[in-house]
Amino acid sequence: MPLARPESLDSRIIAHIDMDCFYVQVEQRKQPHLRGLPTAVVQYNEWKGGALIAVSYEARKFGVKRSMRGDEAKQVCPQIQLVQVPVARGKADLNAYRNAGSEVVSILARKGRCERASIDEVYLDLTDSAEAMLKESPPHSLESIDAEALKSHVLGLKNENGHDAKEKVREWLCRSDTDHREKLLACGAIIVAELRMQVLKATEFTCSAGIAHNKMLAKLTSGMNKPAQQTVVPFSSVKALLDSLPIKKMKQLGGKLGTSLQNDLGVNTVGGLLQFSEEKLQDRYGINTGTWLWNIARGINGEEVQGRLLPKSHGSGKSFPGPRALKTIVSLSDSDSHKKFPSKSCPLRYGTAKIQEDAFNLFQAGLREYLGSCGVKIQGSNHNGWGITALSVSASKIVAVPSGTCSIMKYFQGQYPSHSSSKQTSDNFIQESAPLLSSGTESYSELKSAEPQSDYNFPCLDLQGQKISESRDKDSFCSSPKQAKDGFALETSQPTSQPLPSGGESCSAVNQSNSRGCFFRDDTRVILPKLEQQEQKRNALEDKGTILKFFKKSNPSCSKPKLENVSVVQGLEANEVELPKESLLLAECSTNDCRHSLSQNVHREAWHYKIDEIDPSVIDELPQEIQDEVRSWLRPRKRPNTVKQGLTIAHYFPPTKAT
DNA sequence: ACGGGTAATACC
DNA sequence: TGGTATTAC
């Protein structure tokens, strides 16, 4: 439960932007002839026409609902256009929508601190912008107010739908005889209207918005007038709004907690919570949740807009319902079917073969745990009715790569122009990481000799060529000895190096500095130290595949004969680089998803990077300009004597314009 | 044989 | 810390 910092005198201006039936809009932009037609996006249409995951407003008029099947939708709306979600490697691929969301974020983030709340939702803190506007050009001083702003729905304003509604809104927006907060809110509404028009112009997407003094109220109202409209929540309207708001409509209360409030406390509206003391709510629901409830009943919500444009974790999963369940390779004598299959995780190693190997080991570990120690043999394929109905992997604990990371390669290659300060830093790095190396499987000399054998030119994401914003270059992201000790190589004294932050907040900073929001580029600056794998298994009737099949064959690149034995490959090959992970920060820039890998913990194993293991089909999903670059990396090439940073940094790192 | 595929967050 | 549960889109 979000901890609420009580701020009853909250004069922030927060907007929640919600894209209208976003997936549909993305598809309609791709296929303009679908515009204006009843349209829905479905994934997998084999079974009952697929599941609807987005429905256009035209289709909603026919009673088409999300969670209908394609077939059902056709029944209530025969002319509906069903567009399928792209499929990659046998599963739904949402990247097109993610990227489209990035387009929107990149526009919104120009006006204030921005938080990507989901694939199609964004919070914006417009306080500064609104205050600036109020100071420089307050609404009442404007000659005209934009038509879009005049279409705002202002809660509590009478005659909401009357013929002179716009005039009423104009009056409200331009009132000068009201309190500061209300004026700020009016500025916020004008700014959001402007932003929404910019989004429409730049992306062809419409969105709706809520503008209020906190996140909760903004979120609550962004969907009240859809599509393509905005709703403003003046302070004076909050009490009436919450008094009549069914409690389950409140974010976080849509599930069991909301049900408990209804059943156990007899509360049916958010306002109904007012009758309970904070203590009472805390006693029943815990200190945090209790306080949070007490606050939201009063319209108080201190959650801040996180300046984060990127996800904190990333995963991929697929379900195998019913008959499609993968049959396990175990014999299962007894095991209650209600027990949950445990999730397991381990440090992420790069390369599909290694991920397969790790995932399979995790699976076996989970299976042993699941079965208890009843000594069931894990072998053979004596399926006995049990199967796997879902598999997923996910990566989390992503942290930013600290400053000067790429310069590590100077040490290994000895080809970089050396600044007076960099030698010292390199030395420090070696010194700090020496214990790691000595306990690892490779010595430094091995590493050094192994690396240059590569036929591949690792593109170096040199940070030196990148522009640095004044504000971020100052001091706030300086390295500390502790960071170096954790295995980060830092070159803080390098005057032109990008001041990358490290640690938790660093992601926020990095994220917020990104104005284009391209997932790929940003991923070059994150580290994915964890691999997580989860499986569930339930009854199944037919044998449509095995676990092994899933692990081995679902990835086209791994079904090539050439790679048949990747799992047993040991040691180095010509096109494999094996370095301690601290050294791989640069090398991994050249992998297809371009993720740096480094754990906050000290892990002694070496990390492998094997260019053959890149699944070619992945590349097709990347943004076009990135595809070209990645393909060029994959072509064998002599390493030039002098490694100039071959990649355009701008493609990978956002302009560092501070926002 | 279903809402699938992802996320974030709180809690233990 | 790792793992689970809840909630949401």
CATH number at residue A201: 3.30.70.270
Same domain? For A166 and A219 the reply is yes
Asked if A402 contacts A505 with a C-beta cutoff of 8 angstroms, the reply is: no
Round to a whole number and report the distance in Å from the CA of A64 to the C1' of B2: 18
Last residue of a domain, one of A258, A286, A307: A307
A397-450 confidence digits (pLDDT tens): 777 665 554 443 434 434 333 333 333 332 222 222 222 222 222 222 222 222
* A439 part of a folded domain: yes
Question: C-alpha A79: how far from its chain's center?
Answer: 35
d(CA A526, CA A308): 13
Average pLDDT of span A625-653: 35
A257 touches strand C (CB under 7 A): yes
Q: Closest protein residue to C9 using CA and C1' atoms?
A: A118
A121 is catalytic: yes
The whole domain housing A139 covers 1-17+108-307
- pLDDT exceeds cutoff 90 at A159: no
On whether residue A403 sits in a domain, the answer given is no
* Pair A445, A468 in one domain: yes
Residue A447 shares a structural domain with residue A544: no
The gap between A288 CA and B10 C1' (Å) is: 10
Closest-approach nucleotide to residue A541, Cα vs C1' = B1
Q: In whole angstroms, what is the distance from residue A533 CA to residue A392 CA?
A: 6
Question: CA A424 → C1' B5, Å?
Answer: 48
Specify the higher pLDDT residue, A611 or A606: A611
CA distances from A462 to A484, A491, A498 (A): 19, 13, 9
- Answer for A1: CB within 7 Å of strand B: yes
Residues A238 and A212 in one domain: yes
* Mean pLDDT, residues A557-583 taken together: 20
Q: Which nucleotide is nearest to A534 if distance is taken from CA to C1'?
A: C3
How far is Cα A573 from Cα A320, in angstroms, rounded to an integer? 37
Strand C closer than 7 Å to the CB of A561?
no
Q: Closest Cα partner for A454 from A364, A568, A587, A554? A: A587
**pLDDT computed for residue A388 by the predictor:** 74
pLDDT above 90 covers a percentage of chain A that reads 37
pLDDT at residue number A632: 64
Helices A278-285 and A287-297: angle between axes, nearest 10 degrees: 140
Task: Tell me which residue of A426, A450, A449, A446 sits closest to A437, measured CA to CA.
Answer: A446
Q: Are residues A392 and A296 in the same domain?
A: no
Do A425 and A479 lie in a common domain? yes
Nucleotide at minimal C1' distance from the A67 CA: B3
Is A126 part of a structural domain of the chain?
yes
* Per-residue confidence (pLDDT) for residue A315, from 0 to 100: 83
d(CA A581, CA A351): 13
Burial-class residue A343 by CB neighbours within 10 Å (0-12, 13-18, 19+): middle
Considering the domain architecture, whether residues A122 and A210 belong to the same structural domain is answered as yes
| Structural domains of chain A, count | 4
For residue A207, pLDDT beyond 90: yes
Q: Are residues A336 and A257 in the same domain?
A: no
pLDDT for residue A58 is more than 60: yes
Closest CA to A597 of A405, A465, A410: A405
Looking at the fold, whether A272 and A248 belong to one and the same domain comes out as yes
Selected residue with higher pLDDT from A650 and A148: A148
Q: Does residue A415 share a domain with residue A296?
A: no
| A319, β-bridge pairs | A390
A43-47, A89-93, A117-121, A561-565: least confidently modelled range: A561-565
A449 CB inside 7 Å of strand C = no
Nucleotides of C under 7 A from a protein CB: 1-9
- Tokens matching residue A231: 């709703």
- Strand B proximal to A544 Cβ, under 7 A: no
Cβ of A255 near strand C (distance < 7 A):
yes
Check whether A487 has a pLDDT greater than 90. Answer: no
User: In this structure, what CATH number is given to the domain that contains residue A50?
Assistant: 3.40.1170.60
Q: Is residue A493 part of a domain?
A: yes
Last residue of a domain, one of A307, A342, A365: A307
Mean pLDDT over A220-244 rounds to: 95
Secondary structure (DSSP) of A172-228: HHH--SS-HHHHHHHHHHHHHHHHHHHHHHHH---EEEEEESSHHHHHHHHTTSTTT
Question: Looking at this protein, which amino acid is placed at residue A525?
Answer: R
Return the SS3 of A577.
strand
Q: Region A522-551: what's the mean pLDDT?
A: 35
Distance CA(A409)–CA(A426), nearest Å, equals 10
Out of A58, A121, A582, A629, the active site residue is A121
Residue A408 or residue A468, greater confidence: A408
Q: Which residue is nearest to nucleotide B11 (CA to C1')?
A: A1
**Quick check: is A659 in a domain?**
no
Q: How far is the CA of A49 from the C1' of B3 (A)?
A: 14
User: Using an 8 Å Cβ cutoff, are A416 and A643 in contact?
Assistant: yes
- Token pair of A349 as six digits: 């190693």
Q: What is the model's pLDDT at position A393?
A: 82
Distance CA A588, CA A577 (A): 10
Q: Is residue A522 part of a domain?
A: no
